[in-house]
Amino acid sequence: MEESSALTKGLAMNVLVAHASRAGATAGIAERIAATISSSGHEAVAREVAHAGDPSGYDAVVLGSAVYMGHWLKQAKAYAEQHRHALSSRPVWLFSSGPIGTSRVDDRGHDLLEVTAPQELPDLVEALRPRDHHVFFGALDPTKLSLAHRALRRLPTGRKLLPEGDFRDWQDVERWAAEIATQLSAAAREESRP
Ligand SMILES: Cc1cc2nc3c(=O)[nH]c(=O)nc-3n(C[C@H](O)[C@H](O)[C@H](O)COP(=O)(O)O)c2cc1C
């Protein structure tokens, strides 16, 4: 396979999958992305942004956050801002973990993967010039909610807005991560040309 030959020829890329998660769903997606990229012959690690450090030591970065009330978590935005220079000067991919529920469309028929993109996405695209941004379905564990959100879920509208369950689409996660690995392998081969 192309990807494993990249590894045997010493062309493996070193990839950071930095993520911000409040209740763990996004961390799980980041870990699956790192595992998928690693299984393609590259070296990928998943780290919470608080412990991710300087991305300059990596060949490429995947940065993702949970979306709450339309926004990325502040620690993810801070990481993007603090490391803007290093991130914009290497290949970067962004992801968000947001929509919950079994429907792919909202009440108006709009694709949830499009309408739930975080509000700061245009600024992130402008600052970091990512190769792609992808929205993944997320998960909601009621035991991890604040008291106010637990109270909200006692109302029928609250339960409709915040349905309980794990809606993460692992096939979608693996497909996206495999595409990143393919692009990294192509870039590694290009760099190694005499
Ligand atoms: C109070 C609350 C607000 C949320 N707001 C949004 C939102 O605006 N857009 C969205 O796509 N998902 C929203 N979600 C769903 C979360 O983004 C989803 O559950 C995500 O996977 C959580 O990730 P985490 O476990 O890593 O924190 C919300 C969830 C809660 C509990």
* Domain CATH code at residue 182: 3.40.50.360
The Cα–Cα gap between 66 and 139 comes to 10
Q: So what's the pLDDT on residue 172? A: 98
**pTM: predicted TM-score of the whole model, two decimal places:** 0.94
How long, in residues, is the chain? 194
Q: So what's the pLDDT on residue 5? A: 44
3-state DSSP of 14-71 = EEEEEEECCCCHHHHHHHHHHHHHHHCCCEEEEEEHHHHCCHHHCCEEEEEEEEECCE
Lowest mean pLDDT among 17-26, 86-95, 100-109, 132-141: 100-109
What number is the average pLDDT over the span 25-33?
Answer: 98
Indicate which residue's Cα is closest to atom 10 of ligand 1: 98
* Average pLDDT of the residues of the chain: 93
What number does the ligand 1 atom closest to the CA of 70 have? Answer: 8
What number does the ligand 1 atom closest to the CA of 67 have? Answer: 17
The Cα–Cα gap between 61 and 79 comes to 12
Confidence of residue 194 (pLDDT cuts 50, 70, 90): confident
Please tell me what DSSP assigns to residue 146: -
Is the Cβ atom of 99 under 6 angstroms away from ligand 1? yes
Range of the domain at 19: 2-192
| pLDDT score of 2 more than 70 | no
Total structural domains within the chain: 1
Q: So what's the pLDDT on residue 9? A: 53
What number is the average pLDDT over the span 143-151?
Answer: 93
What number does the ligand 1 atom closest to the CA of 167 have? Answer: 21
**pLDDT per residue over 30-65, tens digit each?**
999 999 999 999 999 999 999 999 999 999 999 999
**pLDDT per residue over 150-162, tens digit each?**
999 999 999 988 9
The SS3 call for residue 90 is coil
| pLDDT score of 23 more than 70 | yes
